[in-house]
Amino acid sequence: DAGVIQSPRHEVTEMGQEVTLRCKPISGHDYLFWYRQTMMRGLELLIYFNNNVPIDDSGMPEDRFSAKMPNASFSTLKIQPSEPRDSAVYFCASSLALIGVGETQYFGPGTRLLVL
């Protein structure tokens, strides 16, 4: 399996522009997670889906952020409008089930976003 695939790997944009990050989870995984990682705040869970349905979006910073999962093999995280403080590495992860004994989240390589 190719693992979790994210695109783009790097994104540089100007403040106010719309940014769309994409993720393809591992085939057969029912759970998909979006994280943000910064030096100041570490790794933060933004939202997660189960069987394409958003379950917990309490980590989404504000209304400028939205996430969708139209099918089992694709998810997007959109920021509109983007701001410099959104600069971070955004990770997508997937798993067969919620974290428990023996369960593992598999992370993609991340998208490094820089908002100027």
What's the full length of the chain, in residues?
116
C-beta separation of 85 from 62 below 8 A: no
Measured from the CB atom, the residue of 42 and 70 that comes closer to another protein is 42
Q: Give the interface size with another protein as a residue count (CB under 8 A).
A: 19
Q: Please state the separation of Cα 87 from the chain's center in Å.
A: 14
Told to check if 91 binds another protein by CB under 8 A, we report yes
Told to check if 111 binds another protein by CB under 8 A, we report no
Q: Rule CB under 8 A: choose which of 69, 79, 108, 113 binds another protein.
A: 108
Structure tokens that stand for 92 in this block = 């997508």
Radius of gyration of the chain (CA): 13
Told to check if 15 binds another protein by CB under 8 A, we report no
Told to check if 114 binds another protein by CB under 8 A, we report no
C-beta separation of 46 from 67 below 8 A: yes
Smallest distance, another protein to C-beta of residue 82, A:
22
Told to check if 53 binds another protein by CB under 8 A, we report no
Residue whose tokens read 């409008």: 81
